Every structure is written in structure tokens, then in C-alpha cells.
Amino acid sequence: MHRQVHVVTAEDLTLERFHLRDVILPLPGHKSVYPTHLEQLYTQMLEADGLLSTHNNSTGGVFRVNQLKLNIPGANRKLIEYPGNLNYR
């Protein structure tokens, strides 16, 4: 399921257009688009873990290795998922 990503504004907060259950975060990959206010943080963390560097960023870094047929495009994941249809004893 593809969902449109929207950066929440102050007006959105005032009008309560979104809830915590609507928050998504990017999973790293060569096609991932990071929120502008978090892009530097994601880049620093990926570089610290050896998963991204400036010399291989344009080719997808370690998320795309043609020789190994490795292709990790990235995705978005909900911050919080509320359970549904849950039974317990």
C-alpha cells in the first residue's frame, strides 16, 4: 500500500488533522526520502554504521549492489501500530 507522505505543519497541529497513529518513519534504502528536518540525522547515523558515504551515495550505497543482486529500496513504517481483532485469555 502506497501512502502519500505529508510533513505536518503548525496549522495541522492546531486543527488536529493528524494523530500519533498517522506518524511514519522511513526505513533506509536507496530510494528512501527522509524528512528534511531529520535528513542530516539519518545521514550521520548511516555513515557511522558504515552504510552510507559521500563517495557511494549517488549509486545507492550499500543498499544497491548489482554484483550481489542486492536491492533495498527502503520503505515507510508506522511509528505506532494499534492492534485490531485481538483476542486473549
* 14-31 pLDDT tens trace: 999 998 888 888 888 878
Predicted confidence (pLDDT) at residue 46 exceeds the cutoff of 60: yes
**Is residue 27 one of the residues assigned to a domain?**
yes
* Domain enclosing residue 73, as ranges: 10-78
DSSP label at 41?
H
Give residue 84's identity as a one-letter amino acid code: G
Q: Name which of 17, 51, 48, 13 is nearest 32 in CA terms.
A: 51
Please give the mean pLDDT across all residues of the chain: 80
**Is residue 45 one of the residues assigned to a domain?**
yes
Q: Name which of 3, 35, 23, 8 is nearest 80 in CA terms.
A: 23
Q: What is the pLDDT of residue 17?
A: 92
Each residue's pLDDT tens digit, 79-89: 998 888 999 99
Total number of domains in the chain: 1
